[in-house]
């Protein structure tokens, strides 16, 4: 029988799908890597597996243990899924800007969720980072993967995401585009692609306007899962050739276009990354490059954003759509 022992055996090996010419008419192909097809619904399943496996190997996590992590949701789902296999308890902290749907998903997996204020500094005792640290130190047998400093985060992408892209494109990928949260995806995947290509693959980060990676100060933005107000250890600046800043508005309008025109229901950080990828493709077209191939990583599903990005009222209220005029076309957000 062709049967798997557990859903965690299905993590990775996600497909590449052409986004052009459906989404934009560039001569340079732009291929999306669909991470929502992982069993936990996001790219973070990969790091959950690798971080837990490494912690078990060296005894930081033992049977009966508790996993504690500050997470905006996706890493929590991956960890909860892996924890279900081994019987670990999970406690997650997250900022209050994160959608209610995401909290509900974590609770559905049997995890405990602590909601913390978004508008406080990372070192404030009320921040979701500080609360996670406190819970971890006060709970016997607790282990925090700390995806912001854990080398098994970028290592997961160096071992899986990067090789998958190289294999699926037959070594023809020339540009890799990804949003930057912890930086694990872009650093690990980029490191592998640079190594196998002899350093020729260009690595481009996509960052919300206001975040530190594109020169901001951490000013609030609404796109979830990407952008930081601190520089995490998991981000390897040396791997990233350039960072493109993208507005919330452009990110969300592109996210809606992906669902409507390509049938790809994904989250806001995917729209953000696709806007950056199309900028790169247009530049390559303009430069007359004929053999380029842009791969853009799409981290998660749109199901967690139905009350926000895919809700017209929310889009109007935040000034991203003008009622009652027609919705802008993809051309106007580029
Ligand atoms: N998009 C979403 C929705 C995420 O949850 C994350 C992870 N924070 C990212 C993008 C960025 O991935 P990474 O942490 O590997 O930089």
Tell which residue, 295, 297, 307, has the closest CA to residue 20: 295
Please name the residues in contact with 6: beta carbons below 8 A apart, sequence gap of 6 or more.
85
Task: Report how far ligand 1's centroid is from the alpha carbon of 20 (Å).
Answer: 23
Is the CB of 182 inside a 6 Å radius of any atom of ligand 1?
A: yes
pLDDT above 90: residue 299: yes
- Give me the pLDDT at residue 106, please: 94
Q: CB of 270 within 8 A of CB of 216?
A: no
Q: CB of 285 within 8 A of CB of 20?
A: no
Banded model confidence at residue 330, pLDDT cuts 50, 70, 90: low
Percent of the chain clearing pLDDT 90 (strictly above): 82
Pocket test for ligand 1, best of 33, 41, 43, 239 (most atoms within 8 A of CB): 43
Please name the residues in contact with 195: beta carbons below 8 A apart, sequence gap of 6 or more.
none
- Counting Cβ atoms within 10 Å, is residue 3 exposed (0-12), middle (13-18) or buried (19+)? exposed
Average pLDDT, whole number, for the chain?
A: 94
Task: Report how far ligand 1's centroid is from the alpha carbon of 282 (Å).
Answer: 25
Task: Report how far ligand 1's centroid is from the alpha carbon of 137 (Å).
Answer: 26
Which residue's alpha carbon is nearest to atom 6 within ligand 1? 225
pLDDT above 80: residue 255: yes
- State the closest ligand 1 atom to the C-alpha of 299, by its place in the atom list counted from 1: 1
H-run or E-run covering 281: helix 268-286
Which residue's alpha carbon is nearest to atom 8 within ligand 1? 225
- Look up residue 69 and give its DSSP letter: E
Task: Report how far ligand 1's centroid is from the alpha carbon of 3 (Å).
Answer: 30
ipTM above 0.90, yes or no: yes
**Would you please indicate which residues are annotated as catalytic (active-site) residues?**
44
Alpha-carbon gap, residue 172 to 128, rounded angstroms: 41
């Amino acid at each position: 029988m062709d049967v798997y022992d557990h859903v965690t055996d299905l993590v990775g090996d996600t497909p590449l799908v052409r986004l052009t010419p459906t989404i934009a008419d560039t001569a340079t192909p732009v291929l999306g890597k669909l991470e929502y097809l992982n069993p936990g619904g996001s790219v973070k399943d990969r790091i959950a597996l690798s971080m837990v496996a490494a912690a078990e190997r060296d005894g930081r996590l033992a049977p009966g243990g508790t996993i504690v992590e500050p997470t905006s949701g996706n890493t929590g789902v991956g960890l909860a899924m892996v924890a279900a296999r081994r019987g670990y308890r999970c406690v997650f902290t997250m900022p209050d800007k994160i959608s209610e749907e995401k909290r509900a998903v974590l609770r559905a997996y049997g995890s405990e969720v602590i909601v913390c204020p978004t508008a406080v500094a990372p070192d404030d005792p009320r921040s979701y980072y500080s609360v996670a640290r406190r819970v971890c130190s006060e709970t016997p047998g607790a282990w925090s993967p700390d995806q912001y400093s854990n080398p098994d985060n970028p290592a997961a992408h160096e071992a899986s995401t990067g090789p998958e892209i190289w294999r699926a494109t037959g070594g023809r990928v020339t540009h890799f585009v990804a949003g930057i949260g912890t930086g694990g995806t872009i650093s690990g995947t980029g490191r592998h692609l640079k190594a196998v290509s002899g350093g020729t693959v260009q690595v481009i980060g996509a960052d919300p306007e206001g975040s530190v990676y594109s020169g901001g100060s951490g000013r609030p933005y609404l796109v979830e899962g990407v952008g930081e107000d601190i520089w995490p250890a998991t981000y390897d600046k040396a791997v990233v050739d350039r960072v493109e800043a993208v507005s919330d508005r452009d990110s969300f309008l592109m996210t809606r276009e992906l669902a409507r025109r390509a049938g790809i229901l994904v989250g806001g950080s995917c729209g953000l990354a696709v806007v950056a990828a199309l900028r790169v493709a247009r530049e390559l077209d303009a430069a007359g490059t004929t053999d380029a191939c842009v791969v853009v990583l799409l981290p998660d599903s749109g199901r967690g954003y139905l009350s926000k990005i895919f809700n017209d009222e929310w889009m109007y209220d935040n000034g991203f759509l003008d009622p009652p005029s027609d919705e802008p076309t993809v051309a106007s957000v580029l």
